[in-house]
Amino acid sequence: MNKQLETLIEITRRAGKIMLEASVGAGDISSKEGHANFVTVYDVAVQKFLKKELAAFMPDAAFYGEEGEKVEVGKGYTFIVDPIDGTTNFICGYQMSAVSVGLVLDGEAVMGVVYNPFREELYYAQKDEGAFLNGKPLKVAERGLKDGVVCFGTSPYNAEYTDRTFKAMRTLLPLSMDLRRQGSAALDISYIAANRNVCFFECILSPWDYAAAGCILKEAGGVLMTMEGEAADFNKKTSILAGTKTAVEEFLKLGL
């Protein structure tokens, strides 16, 4: 592991400590645009911490976080950050939330760290250097839909995608071992790298939801694209389909 990745992991771990020490009360929660789209004072605190620490680490890199203004992802380095992916889980004490930090160079994710401090699970990867969970190498086992669990997101902030989501769920249920809704896209995608599920889809996501985890999955041998089979664009919201190569091919043939 090179020094840059070591530093990125150390910063992410320290951000996770803020989550562990949190005690969420009603006065700590506010709403953003869209149904059940919550933000807590801890989302803001973690992002503020990450922005400061990452700027000191790589001062020439741009910073694109969920709780802030949009940044154009183009030439050079950009950190794409979700301070707490799975905020509703965090509020409700599900302990299925993560700090997600991706480093993008010229539009391509070259490092990713996804950390669930509640389970002490640290996923990380660097381009061409492999993916790891708590230091153990990750390698996707090539399986199809029938051989594993399919995870999904419900796009709760965008009701216009509800029918498409539930149609896909109804179609996939008999074709897979089972379905799971876990509430954190970053963890769902990382779980594919760890062979806990074979596929994940959501009809609309933002770049911070998948930038880091997508790097981890690709380095483990999986694939990530849109539900239409196109490359994901870090400069806009898009559908996301991730999984083993076989499961993704099977999903695309269903025309969901």
Residue 31: pLDDT over 70: no
Q: How far apart are CA 160 and CA 157, in angstroms?
A: 9
How far is residue 34 from each of residues 81, 88, 239, measured CA to CA in Å?
Answer: 20, 13, 17
Q: How far apart are CA 16 and CA 71, in angstroms?
A: 24
For residue 179, count CB atoms less than 10 angstroms from its CB and return exposed for 0-12, middle for 13-18, buried for 19 or more: middle
Pairing of strands 149-152, 178-180: parallel
Residues in the chain: 256
- What b/e readout covers 28-60, taking b as 16+ CB neighbours within 10 angstroms? bbeeeeeeeebbbebbbbbbebbbebbeeeeee
Query: For position 70, what pLDDT does the model report?
Result: 81
Measured between alpha carbons, how far apart are the two ends of the chain, in Å?
39
Count of Cβ atoms closer than 10 Å to residue 144 Cβ: 19
Which amino acid is residue 6, in one-letter code?
E
- 3-20 and 41-57 are packed helices; what angle lies between their axes, rounded to 10 degrees? 160
Angle at 151 between CA 145 and CA 153, to 5 degrees: 135
Query: For position 157, what pLDDT does the model report?
Result: 87
pTM, rounded to two decimals: 0.95
DSSP letter (8 states) at residue 108: E
Question: Which two tokens mark 57?
Answer: 């680490």
Query: For position 74, what pLDDT does the model report?
Result: 87
In angstroms, how far is CA 31 from the centroid of its own chain?
A: 21
pLDDT digits (tens, 9 = 90+) for 178-193: 999 999 999 999 999 9
Q: How far apart are CA 162 and CA 170, in angstroms?
A: 12
pLDDT digits (tens, 9 = 90+) for 67-107: 877 889 989 999 999 999 999 999 999 999 999 999 999 99
Backbone φ and ψ for 2, nearest 5 degrees, come out as: -85, 170
pLDDT digits (tens, 9 = 90+) for 106-133: 999 999 999 999 999 999 999 999 999 9
Report the run of H or E that residue 221 belongs to, with start and end: none
Query: For position 28, what pLDDT does the model report?
Result: 62
Residues sharing a CB contact under 8 Å with residue 147, sequence separation 6 or more, in sequence order: 177, 198
